[in-house]
Every structure is written in structure tokens, then in C-alpha cells.
Structure 1
Amino acid sequence: MRGLVWMKDEGAEYAEVDFAQEMTAVGVAIGADPVPYRLEYTLRTLPGHITELLTVRAHGAGWSRALDLRRSTQGIWSCETKEEGHLGGPPPGGDVNVLNDALDCDLGLSPLTNTMPVLRHGLHRAGGHVDLVMAWVEVPSLRVIHYPQRYTHVRPNVVRYESEGFSADLTLDDDGVVVDYPGLAKLITP
């Protein structure tokens, strides 16, 4: 079990993560963009670091949202949502039928969910690249969309992340945890 703290350009995140054949994590994040919010999440993966469950609760001044996103062992995604108050923007959730080729969730603005595909494919240790589809969860709206991404080994403990017109070279530790995500977050080490 590791306690991880990332300082972000627009907030902070703390997660307690158990790395094993499966990964489990409980975390909390605060942010300021597009509105101030607090977010709590629970993440659980199956063997091979494939998403099984992501539950997220987000709230701010006068609003709250909840998302329960699950992937069955057969690869079928399901989603339950709740919302109260007025946040504006898209509602939480989305069409899960478009996610069936996704193995992973990607919680927006969280460096933790980049760890799953990196570990599964060993990209922090060896060469190669992998094209993936993510069940991407927008923060703080908790909208879920089909989101293609590419991860490419650059050198040991450096992986290039690419998605629609964006790329960043992620620095990782030996456990595959993001240490530096340029433009997003840096891991604070004790």
C-alpha cells in the first residue's frame, strides 16, 4: 500500500493505492477549473490492471454528482449516475454501448489512471507502443466518453501519452506511478 500525493497546476490529489495483480485505490482531489470542486473516488481493477469499477463523487457550491462505472469480466460497461443542484455543462454518465472496446477508465485530471495501461503493457520498462480506447470521465461533470489514446515507450520510466491533439512525456517510477505529468501534476515524495 502506498500513499501518493500529487500537486497539480489547478489543485491536488491524494490516493491510497495497493499495487498487486489487481490494483485498488481510494482517492480525493480538489480542483479549481472549470469551477471549484472536491472529488472522491474508488478504483478497482481485475488481474492485468483492467478496470472493474470506478466510483466517483464530485461536489461544489450548490451541486453534486455521482458516477458508478463498471466493466464486467465479459467487457460490458454499465453506468449509474446521480446529480443534484446546477453545475451546467453535460450531465454525468453517457452512452456505455460505445465503450465495449475499452479496457480502462481514465479519470480526467488524475495521473493515477495512466498507471493501468503502462503496467499492463510494461511500457515503463520496454519499448513499443499501444493504441487504446478509454472510458474517459470528464471532471467535474462526470460525463463518460469513448476516448482513443496512445502510449509509447520513450526510454526507461518515460512514456509518451497522446490523445486528440495533445501529447506529454510522462515520467514514472519503478512501480509505474506517474511522477511528473507536464502541465498537470507532480508527485510529492516524502
Structure 2
Amino acid sequence: MNILQLMAHPDYNNQKRAANRLADVGLKTLQEKLNGQGTIEALNVYDPNNFIPQITADTLNLTNPKETSAERLKNHEAQHKLIKQWKSAEYIYIYMPLHNWNVPAKFKDYLDNILTAGETFKYTETGSVGLMSDKTTKVTFILTSGSEYDTDYRYVNLDIAPQYMRGVLHMMGINQMKLIRAQGLDIIINDKEEIMKSAEKELVGYISSNSYK
């Protein structure tokens, strides 16, 4: 059993951040659930020790890794390490805050590496086809936000991040995504701690309900 936990908060070392707090709860729950019977890999995309290549003209035009510069080869190898890690995971948990209505920039870089033709999808005469499946990969998306995006009429049309993630996953052949939210955290009349505890309860319950076999 391979599980991948992805964290994408720019303030990656601050455990008071809502997304980081939920990631910590999720990781501890997974460890208790598996009890040493599986592998959990954790990747924080904002940690400078984790190299996430940006898609540039060099990376796009790389055709023969054996005939390239050391810098371009480094990008190529890092990209395929990320792809291999993603494809080998049977359960993927993604934790992040909402940034300008979408995923944080560094996580977009991460997905640009993962969403690679011939690896996670392919082109055919009738259009693109995903090379992954709901049968082998289950994705849970844990999203935190200051406002309420699925209920407040001012923001429902800006609820882009979940739509974007579903679109990316669909491109890979993964058509189901569990969404867990902690939202309205910056609204003065809301009880932030109550919101967090509710999200933690939902997360723990969902992780505990999976069989991981």
C-alpha cells in the first residue's frame, strides 16, 4: 500500500496554518490506521529541499536526455521522479490553502510536471485519454479558505480550485475526488476553532473509513 501526502502551503513550516494543521492530523491518522502495514510518502512542494521544476522552453523541448546539459537533465530527472511517485500512489491526500481562487503557484508547477503526455494521459485521434484510473488511485483534496466559496453568492463563481483539480484528474482518467473543506476561517462572526475541529473530524472519519488494502 502506497500513500502520497502532498502539502502546498507557502508558509510550510508554520503548524498554525490551517492547511498544515489538517495535514498533520491526516498524517497521524494514516500512521495509526496503517500501523506499519504500508508506505506513506510526504512531499511539501514549498519546502526548498524539494525540487519542483518549472515548465520552460528547455523542459518542453527536451527530446533526448542523453544529449543535454546537466541543468536540463536535472529538471528531466526530477520531473520523472515526481511522476513515478504520483503514479505509484494508491491513495493521494492533497492539503492546501486557496490562493486567489485557485491552487497555490508552486502546486500548479507540480501538476504541470505530473500532467505529462505518455505518462498520465495520451493523445488519440479522438482526443486525450487518461492513463490512470479510479480503480487504482483515490484522491482526497483538503482545501482551506478565509471565505465561504460554495455558499456565499459573491464567491460561488470563483470557486475555481475544486473545478480545476477535478479537470486535471479527469484528464488523467481519475474521475472521482473527495473534497474536504475548512472555509470561512477569516469571517469575523465565525468560530475558527469550531470550523477546524469540524474539518478534522470529517478528515479523520474519512481516512478511518478506507480499508487501505
Shared fold by TM > 0.5?
no
Larger strand percent:
1
State the TM-score, normalizing by the size of structure 2.
0.30
Higher RCO structure, 1 or 2 (CA under 8 Å, sep 6+): 2
State the TM-score, normalizing by the size of structure 1.
0.32
